[in-house]
Structure 1
Amino acid sequence: MIINKKILNVDDYYYAVFVTISESLTGFTLNELQSTGLAEIYYRYILDHIEAATFTEFLNVSKDIIENSLTQEQLTHAISAEILSKPSTLGIAQSVITLWYLGTWEGAYVNDLSYKEGLVWNVMHAHPPGAKQPGFKSWSVKPVNSNS
């Protein structure tokens, strides 16, 4: 696999690793993650809220996994074996997944946008109540996967 180096406005190499591993951990593409407007904010937020050495270790393990995986299947297996099965990286991986899906870090929202752009809303085919309305006359369209 290739580490995404086409990242907007950020020179930090580890940022590219962060976004690339986020793709695999969340199941969303680079474009989908970037379209939230939160990738750089999340990266910097994590740097400010955990020990740099701990985050760097997670990113180095991620970098090695990405660079040594030739297929998506190998990458998925390596993430399971090298990140999700080791206590030193499991907690950070879970926090990164939660951050992308819910917009929270240790139970608190990162900012107002993190609630609105949480990936959970895409998965549910919904919108964040009180923050991002579905649009005019949206009530007249059946919900996705509606049985009625």
Structure 2
Amino acid sequence: MIINKIFNVDDYYYDVFMAISESLTGFSVNELQSTGLAEIYYKHILGQIEAVTFTEFLNVSKTALENSYTQDQLNNAISADILSNPATQEIAQSVITLWYLGTWEGAYVNDLSYKEGLVWNVMHAHPPGAKQPGFKSWSVKPVNSNS
């Protein structure tokens, strides 16, 4: 797969991070960027783990992305080289959790990370107390209510 230059971020590994995040989450790079958290998450991870550990994860990810020509090949490479490898498995799981729940090691990265967690899109729901439909919206009958 081709790793495209995504942002004008000087760090090449950012593009690898976004490409592997797309594959790990099932959400497109555009959808991930639309959360407004892509760069924040990348920088947060760099601040939480040793740079050499994160770089190793990104190098393994880069190899998997570059050597896969179909989605099946990429899925197999991720399973075999990243998720089954003790050196990269925990980081991959943490990246998935970060995107879906907005947490790193059980703590929210920031207020936006709760609101923009991918879990809400998957559930077709809104984060309680954070986004529309809003306070007391449950007291109004739905427009298409049959009752």
- TM-score normalised according to structure 1 size: 0.90
Summarize deviations over 1:50-100 as a string: whole Å, max 9, x none: 011100000000001100000111000000000000110000000000000
Once the two structures are TM-superposed, the CA of residue 139 in structure 1 deviates from its matched residue by 5.5
Task: Return structure 1 stretches of 4+ with deviation > 4 angstroms.
Answer: 135-139
Question: Gaps (5+ residues) in structure 2?
Answer: none
Q: Give the structure 2 partner of residue 106 of structure 1.
A: 105
Secondary structure of the residue aligned to 1:82 is: helix
Question: How does 1:29-68 map onto structure 2 within 5 Å?
Answer: 29-68=28-67
Q: Is the 8 A contact 1:17 1:59 kept in 2?
A: yes
Question: Gaps (5+ residues) in structure 1?
Answer: 143-148
Q: Matched residues in 2 for 1:2 and 1:96: separation?
A: 21
Question: How does 1:103-142 map onto structure 2 within 5 Å?
Answer: 103-134=102-133, 140=142
Q: From the superposition, tell whether residues 43 and 141 of structure 1 become closer, same or farther in structure 2 (CA, over 3 Å).
A: farther
Query: Residue type of the partner of 1:4?
Result: N
Query: Residue type of the partner of 1:78?
Result: A
Aligned residues: 141
Q: Is the 8 A contact 1:4 1:19 kept in 2?
A: no
Q: Matched residues in 1 for 2:143 and 2:81: separation?
A: 44
User: Based on CA coordinates, which of the two structures has the bigger radius of gyration?
Assistant: 2
The CA RMSD measured in Å over matched residues stands at 1.7
Q: From the superposition, tell whether residues 139 and 21 of structure 1 become closer, same or farther in structure 2 (CA, over 3 Å).
A: farther
Query: Residue type of the partner of 1:108?
Result: A
- TM-score normalised according to structure 2 size: 0.91
Q: Matched residues in 1 for 2:102 and 2:10: separation?
A: 24
Once the two structures are TM-superposed, the CA of residue 112 in structure 1 deviates from its matched residue by 0.3
Q: From the superposition, tell whether residues 141 and 3 of structure 1 become closer, same or farther in structure 2 (CA, over 3 Å).
A: farther
Secondary structure of the residue aligned to 1:131 is: coil
Query: Residue type of the partner of 1:30?
Result: V
Query: Residue type of the partner of 2:93?
Result: Q
Q: From the superposition, tell whether residues 105 and 141 of structure 1 become closer, same or farther in structure 2 (CA, over 3 Å).
A: farther
